[in-house]
Amino acid sequence: MSHSPHSQPPVRPVPAGAVRIACTINGQAREFVAAPMRRLIDVLRDDLGLVGTKEGCGEGECGACSILLDGQPVNSCLIPAIQVQGANLTTIEGLASRDTFNKTVLHPVQQAFLEHGGAQCGICTPGMIVTAAWMVQTGQPAADVPKVLAGNLCRCTGYAHIVTSVQAAVEAGQAAGLTERPAGEA
């Protein structure tokens, strides 16, 4: 063992074959260096500090790591870094905005989760909200909420308050004309 306790800090060596990847994350141009097959969730959480995206299984089954990749919900634990070259990513950190007074303006889904008690422990919440945001933004029908959320596991709520929250957000989104295309077209 070559290391004394106070030798070099543990910097992960840049692996051979690492590439420079440029993409847009939450509206900002970002560049990072990573091995092509490095998991996107690790890039987000460990390299870029976006720890709002959660890892529940690392196998694409729980949906806690859901993000939007070019507008589509994906499990970031299954996406290799190289795949986001030139892509547009939205994570949970990118959904709320700030108004001119620096006050947080919640995304309609976040607002609905707040009003309807959609979160308990909160670990599935970012993934749920990202998936639900896709529903609002693409005008999915409220009746499809259980089907669309079936890729996001929650262990606390029995989904009842989550489904209520998302349905409220979807309906509010349609009423406010937030959707990118009319409901029913999806």
Dist CA 11 CA 40 (whole Å): 19
Instruction: Identify which of residues 142 and 156 has a Cβ nearer to another protein in the complex.
Output: 156
Distance CA 14, CA 140 (A): 42
Residue nearer to another protein on the CB measure, 59 or 185 = 59
Strands 88-90 and 72-75: unpaired
Q: Which is nearer to another protein, 127 or 139 (CB)?
A: 127
Q: Which residues pair with 105 in a beta bridge?
A: 97
Residue closer to another protein, measured from CB, 11 or 29:
11
Q: What angle do CA 151, 153, 157 make, to 5 degrees?
A: 135
Which residues contribute to the site for another protein (CB under 8 A)?
1-3, 5-6, 9-13, 45-46, 49-59, 61-62, 64, 91-93, 95-96, 104, 106, 110, 113-126, 129, 145-147, 149-163
Joined together, the tokens standing for residue 131 give: 């998936």
User: Nearest distance from residue 77's CB to another protein, in Å?
Assistant: 10
Q: Rounded to the nearest whole angstrom, what is the least distance from the CB of residue 175 to another protein in the complex?
A: 21
